[in-house]
């Protein structure tokens, strides 16, 4: 962020929150520093972008006093005058966070098209929580590693170089593994166990929900190709051992009647049911029950699929996002569950 906005940085702190800002000065470079405020500083705004119609909007704010010449200052005053509906009055490219200290509420928004990026982070990832529970249950030493969007972007060139493909889904899946492998190697570890392969041979991906019959389900599991783990880990001199891809294990897994692998939500059979059931032992459980029974949000996703499976659902041929999750509102649903 600092590299993209090198002209100024600002910070506003409240008892339980901080608003930080990096600025690329274009309109009013001399006095348009941020955060921006209303007259009594009860409303605080940090903004990235430009409000094209700010001069016209100021005509509706004659009773307000402006402290800067910044086009973005209108946001604080418009909110004070019109409430949250003011966002429909804005024309431009922008993303902002507005804090109302009077009732400790906030608004985070971007322009309707998304010209200026807005990214949010949700605390309490269910994956992280489940990993902690499993580690506690097994009594193993647990490590958590976080990386930023910027770190992911900066790693893309190296990721593509090492995995030797421009396939979007593969690059997206390989980037976290590439960064994680770097972290693991820095801890002095040379070999790890990976769950690579279980989704492929047991039908764990969301698109398997649309398999029309057990024959096509089985054929898709046979078509799968794996190279993400080996190339992402070996880039850092880290060796990944993959128990699910052991020859004898695969022979057993592929000999199972595929009807037992198919998802049947009406009877409680979710993705990788055979594998989950093997570890869901009431007398001698291998994993916490809530962890072993967790499932993914359902929906029309073609991520990681082969070209053949696009025929399973006509809507997939028009899907620009391989994961399909943005269109489904899965991220919105995840946010609602945290309230």
DSSP 298: P
CATH code linked to domain 8-110: 3.60.20.10
Structure-token pair, residue 34 = 């941020």
What integer pLDDT is reported at residue 15 of this predicted model?
73
Query: Is residue 87 within 8 Å of residue 98, measured between CB atoms?
Result: no
Domain 126-338: CATH class, spelled out: alpha beta
Exposure of 1 in the CB half-sphere (CA atoms within 13 A): 15
Q: Which residue has the higher pLDDT, 306 or 272?
A: 272
Name the residue among 169, 155, 175, 179 with its Cα closest to residue 199. 169
Q: Is residue 56 pLDDT above 90, yes or no?
A: yes
What integer pLDDT is reported at residue 27 of this predicted model?
47
- 186/190 Cα distance (integer angstroms): 10
Confidence of residue 338 (pLDDT cuts 50, 70, 90): very low
Structure-token pair, residue 234 = 């070996």
Q: Is residue 4 pLDDT above 50, yes or no?
A: no
- Residues 204-215, mean pLDDT to the nearest whole number: 68
Give the long-range contacts of residues 118-127, CB within 8 A, separation 24 or more.
119/149, 120/335, 122/334, 122/335, 122/338, 123/338, 124/338, 126/294
Q: Is residue 233 pLDDT above 80, yes or no?
A: yes
Percent of the chain clearing pLDDT 90 (strictly above): 25
Confidence of residue 143 (pLDDT cuts 50, 70, 90): very high
What integer pLDDT is reported at residue 86 of this predicted model?
93
Q: Please state which of the ranges 70-84, 89-103, 322-336 shows the lowest mean pLDDT.
A: 322-336
Q: Which residue has the higher pLDDT, 15 or 132?
A: 132
Exposure of 259 in the CB half-sphere (CA atoms within 13 A): 0
Residues of the chain with CATH 3.40.50.620: 126-338
- 257/102 Cα distance (integer angstroms): 62
What integer pLDDT is reported at residue 122 of this predicted model?
64
Q: Is residue 57 pLDDT above 90, yes or no?
A: yes
**Sheet containing strand 105-110, strands side by side:** 36-37, 43-51, 92-100, 105-110
Residues of the chain with CATH 3.60.20.10: 8-110
Confidence of residue 54 (pLDDT cuts 50, 70, 90): very high
Residue identified by tokens 């922008």 is 94
- Residues 43-59, mean pLDDT to the nearest whole number: 90
Q: Is residue 126 pLDDT above 80, yes or no?
A: no
What integer pLDDT is reported at residue 188 of this predicted model?
92
Structure-token pair, residue 244 = 């699910």
- Residues 128-142, mean pLDDT to the nearest whole number: 89
Give the long-range contacts of residues 218-225, CB within 8 A, separation 24 or more.
218/254, 218/258, 219/308, 220/305, 220/306, 220/308, 220/309, 221/254, 221/258, 221/261, 222/254, 223/306, 223/308, 224/200, 224/306
Mean per-residue pLDDT over the chain, rounded: 77
């Amino acid at each position: 962020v600092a590299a993209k906005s090198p002209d100024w940085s600002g910070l506003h702190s409240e008892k339980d929150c901080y608003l930080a800002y990096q600025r690329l000065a274009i309109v009013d470079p001399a006095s348009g520093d941020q955060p921006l405020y209303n007259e009594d500083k009860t409303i605080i705004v940090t903004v990235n972008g430009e409000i094209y119609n700010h001069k016209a909007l100021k005509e509706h704010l004659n009773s307000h006093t402006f402290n800067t010449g910044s086009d973005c200052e209108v946001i604080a005053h418009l909110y004070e005058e019109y409430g949250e509906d003011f966002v429909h009055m804005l024309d431009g490219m922008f993303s902002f966070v507005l804090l109302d200290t009077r009732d400790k509420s906030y608004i985070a928004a971007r322009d309707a098209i998304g010209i200026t990026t807005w990214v949010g982070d949700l605390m309490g990832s269910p994956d992280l929580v489940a990993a902690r529970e499993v580690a506690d249950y097994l009594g193993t030493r647990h490590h958590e590693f976080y990386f930023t969007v910027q770190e992911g972007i900066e790693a893309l060139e190296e990721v593509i170089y090492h995995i030797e493909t421009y396939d979007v889904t593969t690059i997206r899946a390989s980037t976290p593994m590439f960064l994680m492998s770097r972290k693991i190697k820095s801890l002095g570890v040379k070999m790890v166990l990976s769950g690579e392969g279980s989704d492929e041979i047991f039908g764990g991906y969301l698109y398997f929900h649309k398999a029309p019959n057990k024959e096509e389900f089985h054929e898709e599991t046979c078509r799968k190709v794996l190279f993400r783990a080996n190339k992402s880990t070996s880039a850092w001199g880290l060796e990944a051992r993959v128990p699910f891809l052991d020859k004898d294990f695969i022979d057993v897994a592929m000999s199972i009647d595929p009807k037992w692998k198919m998802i049947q939500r009406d009877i409680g059979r979710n993705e990788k049911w055979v594998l989950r059931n093997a570890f869901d032992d009431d007398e001698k459980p291998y994993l916490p029950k809530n962890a072993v029974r967790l499932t993914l949000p359902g929906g029309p996703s073609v991520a990681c699929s082969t070209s053949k499976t696009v025929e399973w659902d006509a809507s997939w041929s028009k899907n620009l996002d391989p994961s399909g999750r943005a269109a489904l509102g899965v991220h919105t649903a995840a946010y609602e569950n945290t309230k």
